[in-house]
Amino acid sequence: MKKFKLFIDNEWVEPEDGKYFTSYCPATGEPLAELASASANDVNKAVQAAKRAFPEWSKTDGDVRADLMMKALSLFKARIREFAEWEAKDVGKPIKETMGTDLPYAFRAMEYFSNLGRQIRGNVIPLPGRSALCYETYEPFGVVGSIIPWNFPLHIATRTICPALSAGNTVVLKASSLAPITCSMMAEIFLEAGYPKGVINIVSGSGSVTGEAMLRNDDVNMVSFTGSTEVGRRCLHSSAETNLKKVLLELGGKGPFIADKDCLVSDAVNSLIIGFCFMQGEVCCASTRAYVHKDIYDEFVEKLVARCNAIRLGDIMDPETQMGSLIDENQFKQVDKYVKDAVADGAKLLCGGFREMDAPMDKGYFYRPTVLEVASNDLACVQEEIFGPVVTVKKIDNFEEALELSNDSVYGLGATVWSENYRTLLKATETFNAGIVWMNTNVMSKIEASYGGNKQSGLGREGGVVGLMEYLKCKNNVLYTGPRENYYGFED
């Protein structure tokens, strides 16, 4: 069984108190690796290493930083199958997804942000009177703490640390204790690529100890957190109570999906299914509230139920498997409780709603795709994030009603609309209170474009040029070039 120490200052070091924890495969229950549990002092050691490395790294030429990341990318690609298998086993997702999504997205983040980092530029600001040269420059914050979730460890880790490093920051990365293996493995890549000591540090441990220590460390200048809205609030509290570090948050969601009467029904159904079944529905931007026009409702729901029942669950290492296991027993219990409570509250269970127990699924937490028909938008299953393969469907009379119901949520991450009328699509983009709007597609997240939400779905954006700029602070520089100034009329 693999064993990972803490990666601090380009060395593998034992945790201060000698504690380790075991990561298990959600799909089989088998132990996969032991990882060090970082204490608050361990986290501080990583932070101090990053702090020491920052002055030189921040002044390193952008091309040099980019070339290092491209070298790391080359090493990463050479181990694609190894990383894909570990990612699948640690998260419980199908190998088809890690090979087709997780690894390619991680590779693209490294390539995209390394090259974007070569082009960081400022602005010259024309001032009235032309008595001063005013220009803006962009500088790295310093030490960035990156705290990532368990659903897409490699994808989300690279989406955050790559722009941070390319902008000249140093990093302390902490993965979820539920799926930490591949992030610790990444340290091997950065070490072999030749990154200077302290530029990238990777620690493992619980959120309550390791994560909290990062949030409360005064030498951490910025935190990027992806996870629940509840913990996002904790990040803001910690920032307010300590050094007012910048906080970038990508939080929960409850994505609406509108199928208008003129949409391509079959295509829209397929789009909804990937929207709430991909990664077992454990996706913040999942489409989990479907509003379907009454004229196509029966056809839509009939196809939806039939296709959900046909999705293949099973051995996650089989390339034919389409859905894997929920992350752990707690997540299974949460999902199942939402479904049972919804039925008790009047929702109609159209399919799914149970855990598969046939071999080889009997030792995991494989939950069938679940469709709940609802009459009210106020049910908990409609309003609260379930984080599993569960979607609610509601019949609507018109498009305006669907838009109103879509915005009736505390979340505002992703929103989807299907129609063959471009006016309908454009109206939706103007009306949705969401960070991302998908038209006649779904959950399409690309590194080149921004990703993030409104309302309780987060603050700031990851991805694209906007995402790179999140890791830079703006400085206004003013050089006076006019006549001598003597505001108070002093004599020379």
Using DSSP's 3-state secondary structure scheme, residue 392 falls into strand
Backbone angles phi and psi of 83, in degrees to 5: -65, -40
Active site residue 25: no
By C-alpha distance, which of 25, 81, 250, 247 is closest to 157? 250
By C-alpha distance, which of 376, 389, 292, 291 is closest to 335? 389
N residues, the chain: 492
* 110, two tokens: 């490294």
**Which of 250, 282, 356, 385 is an active site residue?**
250
Residue 31 CA, chain-centre distance (Å), reads 26
Output the CA torsion sign for 352, 355, 357, 361. Answer: positive
Using DSSP's 3-state secondary structure scheme, residue 81 falls into helix
Read off the amino acid at residue 329: E
Active site residue 284: yes
Backbone angles phi and psi of 415, in degrees to 5: -145, 145
Strands 370-373 and 390-396: parallel
Q: In whole angstroms, what is the distance from residue 450 CA to residue 464 CA?
A: 5
**Which of 162, 183, 235, 284 is an active site residue?**
284
By C-alpha distance, which of 198, 160, 154, 155 is closest to 180? 154
Q: List active site positions.
A: 250, 284
